[in-house]
């Protein structure tokens, strides 16, 4: 039974688009175009050449994980085409959000690999459940977690490596689960055995493991697709800061991040911005701290400490550099994206990011104009921040009811769905894809006590029936 009508659907769109102005603009301008055409005709990529020192550090991090062959392909692509995805939460690539973002990324013609600077500062109990394998069952979404519930509030960045005992625990959970068929259990156990190699278990932390595990999972699910290359954004930017920005006092980011005048400018332009900081326990000033238990710590400017916030950040570039190397600090989203803007990367964004990346860019340009950095401002103006890549595409049917599939769901079907989803993207419009995601976006952006029951009752199946999307899904998938 459809839980919506034209009025409730319009209200849902209004609530979401009122808070997500850039998403609304993309929907209004390009909603009638197919996903494939939108990606190939509307995405624009910065013409910039990424600097050699940045590429060398990036290549060094990749080589430690993936080997020289992957490094050569990735560096060649970035040198000529500085397009990366910054949508994904770092962890096991499995959640429908990020299957979709990478599938949409792969629609771009002439892409050899999907380079993802994923965010590792999220907690294990984030809605994407980055430390779990996810399976849709008759009893709902089942999580097979490689970590105990005691660690669920810890951030991915700080998690220790998954060891053989963690893998054994998950295998036992699978064997006793009564929602999976025997054949599914066998296939899932085989998958885990194939991707959790001895080399994976020897890596020093989960963050590094998740890079290789996600790449392997993606290739198991979509063997025909371009390869996914995961690299935690915070690790990359930490190294850029330590090796390039801290030693170079003339670097504009050194002046902003490590001088009193720079801190005043950062506060002037970015206080209250998403991904930045504002007041007590809202964001963190430039960097997050990590305590010995793996929890992240909110930091304040040492001269602006607020009652109840015991931790402050001291203006000491060498000490900060050392703490970054020891993984006692990691850069906030603001610092990460200021750095990517400075080096003129074009970042693919999700529904939130297209809004706040655009906001950060606009404020950065004003800051640069104030300090007379007109040449740099002119370069950054050409960096696109509104390339959207988080629509819905990975659907499956079960007893005539369709749902958003996890990576494990797709793997357990025993089929390669990649070409079918590519074909669907040629018919499904960007607007339909965004509309089907509105219920989930509404829950994320609306506080629990402000949510309306009539809007919470709407789901993506209702919308797909309402806007004709379901017919296209049936046509191209079955």
Tens digit of each residue's pLDDT (9 = 90 or more) over 328-347: 999 999 999 999 999 999 99
- Identify each DSSP E strand in 119-207 by its residue range: 132-137, 140-145
Tens digit of each residue's pLDDT (9 = 90 or more) over 311-324: 678 889 999 999 99
Placement of tokens 């690539």 in the chain: 93
Question: How far is the CA of 226 from the CAs of 71, 220, 395, in angstroms?
Answer: 15, 12, 20
Q: Please, what is the end-to-end C-alpha distance for the chain in angstroms?
A: 22
Query: Looking at the domain assignment, is residue 277 inside a domain?
Result: no
Query: Looking at the domain assignment, is residue 80 inside a domain?
Result: yes
Residues 49 and 150 in one domain: yes
> Residues near 23 by Cβ (< 8 Å), separated by ≥ 6?
16, 17, 351, 354, 355, 388, 434
Query: Looking at the domain assignment, is residue 12 inside a domain?
Result: yes
Residue 132: which domain range?
43-272+331-426
CA 76 to chain centroid, in Å, comes to 23
Residue 22 predicted with pLDDT over 70: yes
Residues 75 and 209 in one domain: yes
Residues 216 and 136 in one domain: yes
Query: Looking at the domain assignment, is residue 81 inside a domain?
Result: yes
Residues 177 and 233 in one domain: yes
265, two tokens: 């400018």
pLDDT of 186 reads: 96
Residues 47 and 193 in one domain: yes
389, two tokens: 């890549």
Whole-number average pLDDT of the chain: 92
Residue 146, judged by CB atoms within 10 A of its CB (0-12, 13-18, 19+), counts as: buried
Q: Which H/E stretch holds residue 175?
A: helix 164-176
Residue 307 predicted with pLDDT over 80: no
Q: Which of 426, 446, 465 is the last residue of a domain?
A: 426
pLDDT band (50, 70, 90) for residue 6: confident
Residues 19 and 78 in one domain: no
371, two tokens: 């300090």
Placement of tokens 């259990």 in the chain: 185
For the chain, percent of residues with pLDDT exceeding 70: 97
Query: Looking at the domain assignment, is residue 311 inside a domain?
Result: no
CB-based burial, 179-208: b 16+ in 10 Å, e otherwise = ebeeebbebbeebbeebbeeebeebebbbb
Residues 446 and 421 in one domain: no
Q: Which of 426, 445, 464 is the last residue of a domain?
A: 426
> Residues near 22 by Cβ (< 8 Å), separated by ≥ 6?
354, 355, 358, 386
Report the number of distinct structural domains present in the chain: 2
pLDDT band (50, 70, 90) for residue 281: low
pLDDT band (50, 70, 90) for residue 131: very high
Residue 440, judged by CB atoms within 10 A of its CB (0-12, 13-18, 19+), counts as: middle
**Average pLDDT estimate for 15-29:** 95
**Average pLDDT estimate for 227-248:** 97
> What gap in Å lies between CA 262 and CA 151, rounded to an integer?
36
Residue 308 predicted with pLDDT over 70: no
Residues 150 and 245 in one domain: yes
CB-based burial, 328-352: b 16+ in 10 Å, e otherwise = bbbbbbbbbbbbbbbbbbbbbbbbb
Beta bridge partners of 388: 349
Residues 26 and 93 in one domain: no
> Residues near 137 by Cβ (< 8 Å), separated by ≥ 6?
177, 179, 180
Q: What are phi and psi of 25, to 5 degrees?
A: -65, -45
Q: Higher model confidence: residue 439 or residue 400? A: 439
Residues 365 and 466 in one domain: no
Query: Looking at the domain assignment, is residue 218 inside a domain?
Result: yes
Q: Which H/E stretch holds residue 270?
A: helix 260-270
Residues written for the chain:
478
Q: Angle, to 10 degrees, between the axis of helix 21-30 and the axis of helix 6-19?
A: 120
Question: How far is the CA of 150 from the CAs of 36, 145, 153, 159, 297, in angstroms?
Answer: 43, 12, 8, 12, 18
Q: Report helix, strand or coil for 166.
A: helix
Contacts 24+ apart (CB under 8 A), 418-421: 418/103, 418/222, 418/223, 418/224, 418/225, 419/224, 420/476, 420/477, 421/103, 421/393, 421/394
Residue 398 predicted with pLDDT over 90: no
Residues 342 and 474 in one domain: no
Residue 1 predicted with pLDDT over 50: no
Q: Report helix, strand or coil for 162.
A: coil
pLDDT of 302 reads: 65
Q: Higher model confidence: residue 460 or residue 234? A: 234
Residue 259, judged by CB atoms within 10 A of its CB (0-12, 13-18, 19+), counts as: middle
pLDDT of 218 reads: 97
**Average pLDDT estimate for 259-268:** 95
pLDDT band (50, 70, 90) for residue 39: very high
pLDDT of 183 reads: 95
Residue 306 predicted with pLDDT over 50: no
Query: Looking at the domain assignment, is residue 298 inside a domain?
Result: no
> What gap in Å lies between CA 211 and CA 234, rounded to an integer?
13
Residue 271 predicted with pLDDT over 70: yes
Query: Looking at the domain assignment, is residue 59 inside a domain?
Result: yes
Q: Which H/E stretch holds residue 229?
A: strand 227-232
Q: Which of 383, 404, 426 is the last residue of a domain?
A: 426
**Average pLDDT estimate for 425-439:** 95
Residues 150 and 11 in one domain: no
> What gap in Å lies between CA 285 and CA 19, rounded to an integer?
24
Cβ count near 67 (within 10 Å): 10
């Amino acid at each position: 039974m459809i839980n919506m009508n034209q009025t409730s659907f319009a209200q849902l769109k209004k609530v979401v688009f009122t808070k997500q102005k850039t998403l609304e603009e993309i929907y209004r301008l390009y909603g009638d175009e197919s996903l494939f055409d939108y990606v190939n005709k509307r995405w624009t990529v910065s013409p910039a050449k990424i600097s050699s020192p940045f590429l060398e550090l990036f290549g060094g991090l990749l080589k430690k994980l993936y080997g020289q062959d992957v490094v050569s392909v990735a560096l060649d692509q970035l040198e000529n085409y500085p397009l990366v995805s910054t949508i994904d939460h770092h962890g096991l690539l499995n959640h429908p959000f990020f299957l979709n973002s990478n599938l949409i990324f792969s629609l771009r013609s002439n892409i050899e690999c999907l380079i993802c600077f994923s965010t590792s500062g999220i907690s294990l109990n984030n809605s994407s459940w980055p430390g779990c394998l996810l399976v849709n069952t008759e009893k709902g979404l089942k999580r097979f977690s490689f970590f105990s519930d005691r660690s669920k509030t810890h951030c991915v960045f700080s998690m220790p490596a998954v060891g053989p005992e963690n893998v054994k625990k998950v295998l036992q959970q699978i064997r006793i689960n009564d929602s999976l068929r025997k054949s599914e259990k066998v296939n899932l156990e085989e998958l885990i055995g194939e991707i959790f190699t001895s080399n994976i278990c020897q890596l020093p932390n989960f963050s590094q493991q998740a890079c290789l595990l996600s790449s392997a999972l993606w290739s198991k699910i979509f063997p025909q697709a371009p390869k996914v290359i995961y690299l935690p954004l915070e690790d990359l930017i930490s190294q850029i800061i330590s090796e390039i920005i801290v030693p170079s006092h003339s670097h504009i980011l050194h002046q902003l991040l490590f001088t009193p005048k720079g801190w005043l400018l950062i506060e002037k332009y970015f206080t209250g911005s998403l991904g930045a900081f504002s007041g007590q326990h809202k964001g963190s000033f430039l960097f997050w701290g990590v305590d010995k238990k793996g929890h992240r710590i909110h930091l304040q400017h040492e001269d602006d400490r607020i009652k109840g916030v015991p931790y402050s950040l001291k203006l000491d570039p060498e000490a900060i550099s050392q703490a970054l190397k020891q993984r006692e600090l990691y850069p906030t989203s603001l610092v990460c994206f200021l750095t990517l803007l400075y080096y003129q990367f074009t970042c693919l964004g999700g529904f939130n990011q297209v809004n706040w990346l655009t906001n950060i860019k606009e404020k950065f340009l004003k800051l640069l104009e104030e300090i007379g950095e007109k040449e740099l401002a002119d370069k950054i103006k050409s960096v696109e921040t509104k390339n959207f890549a988080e629509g819905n595409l990975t659907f499956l049917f079960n007893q005539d009811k369709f749902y958003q599939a996890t990576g494990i769901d797709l793997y357990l079907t025993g089929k390669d769905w990649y070409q079918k989803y590519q074909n669907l993207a040629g018919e499904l419009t960007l607007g339909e894809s965004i509309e089907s995601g509105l219920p989930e976006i509404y829950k994320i952006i609306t506080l629990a006590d402000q949510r309306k029951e009539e809007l919470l009752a709407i789901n993506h199946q209702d919308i797909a029936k309402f806007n004709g999307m379901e017919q296209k899904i049936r046509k191209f998938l079955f």
